[in-house]
Amino acid sequence: MANATQGQHQNQRQTFRQSVEVPIEVSITGVPVPIHATLINISATGARMRSLISIEKDSSIRFPLRTSGKTIEIRGRIASRNKPIGQALYEYGIAFDRISTADQDSVVQAVMEFQRREAAARADEKEPPSIPGATGKQKRAAYRANVAFEVRYKKVGRAGSSTAQANDLSVGGLRLITDEVFPKNALLSFEFTLPSEVLNVFKGKIAEAEISPFGVRAEWKPREGQRPFEQMQLTGRVVTRLKDSYGRAVFGIQFVDVDAFTREEIQRFIHAAQVYRLHTNQGLRS
């Protein structure tokens, strides 16, 4: 059952389409020179682009996709073509083919990179941190989700990691429940994946209209909210020790230097957890 769930999450991760605006040069089989186009969304299995040039459906194409780590040559075919009413350009759906597993993983990483860039562009200002156990302005600084999940942590500068329980998550920090005691201001590095089952509240798909030779049709794609959570890596600082819970030490942790994309992912989780709680009228357990 775990393998099936993992496969489902992997499939969701690979088919999620990220909106982008990336200029590309597209080579078409049988055409002597490449054409200019703009990539407007991409997933690990396909993409969509627009261009002023008319390309026949089922044409084989290729284009380089540049990421921070490498340049991948994408090969595919034109799976659909439409011309938005009142516009001189064409939009094309591309199905990738002959793409290796390694390159497919690189495309997934490229999608994540585009997401991080978008998040950074939206982050005009950081929210003040919300620290579990704090009061006053600190407590009101951000929304929180009292959802339990497992984390791996290690003290910065020390080898080896341990497992602990976390809850009361906000973009500013979390509550850590552990068998170990830390001094105030100790720095801890965390690795965890937020439980994606809260995303079940966003069931269903949305339709994207497309004009085909047979009329207007709907291309169905997963809602953005259904994209499973990726593993997060954060650093946190111990700011307070709270009341012990069943013989275990409890600490308020403040995150340090959270990037914009991770902040948005935490906010997406908190929103889903709040909606999930309203739908089920109960909390979640890891």
Q: Find the CATH number of the domain harbouring 51.
A: 2.40.10.220
**Per-residue pLDDT tens digits for 9-50:** 444 444 567 778 888 999 999 999 999 999 888 887 889 999
Name the token pair of 18.
């990220």
Is 276 found in the same domain as 141?
Answer: yes
Q: How confident is the prediction for the chain on average, in pLDDT? A: 78
User: According to the model, what pLDDT value does residue 2 have?
Assistant: 42
Is 81 found in the same domain as 149?
Answer: no
Is 98 found in the same domain as 196?
Answer: no
Residues 6+ apart with CB under 8 A from 123: 260, 263
**Most trustworthy range by pLDDT among 33-47, 96-110, 268-282:** 33-47
47 DSSP β-pair partners:
42, 94
Name the token pair of 145.
């989700």
The identity of residue 168, as a single letter, is D
Confidence of residue 232 (pLDDT cuts 50, 70, 90): very high
Is 173 found in the same domain as 94?
Answer: no
User: According to the model, what pLDDT value does residue 20 have?
Assistant: 80
What is the number of other CB atoms lying within 10 angstroms of the CB of residue 249?
17
Q: Check residue 41 and report its DSSP letter.
A: E
Is 262 found in the same domain as 201?
Answer: yes
For residues 217 and 231, give the distance between their C-alpha atoms in angstroms, rounded to a whole number: 36
pLDDT greater than 80 at residue 208:
no
What is the dihedral sign for C-alpha 90, 60, 207, 272? negative
Full residue range of the structural domain in which residue 22 is found: 15-122
Contact of 115 with 261, CB cutoff 8 Å? yes
Angle at 173 between CA 226 and CA 112, to 5 degrees: 35
Considering the domain boundaries, does residue 127 fall inside one?
no
Is 144 found in the same domain as 274?
Answer: yes
92 DSSP β-pair partners:
49, 81
Is 273 found in the same domain as 217?
Answer: yes
Is 271 found in the same domain as 150?
Answer: yes
**Strand, coil or helix: 105:** helix
What is the dihedral sign for C-alpha 62, 63, 65, 66? positive
Q: Check residue 104 and report its DSSP letter.
A: H
Considering the domain boundaries, does residue 286 fall inside one?
no
pTM across the whole model: 0.56
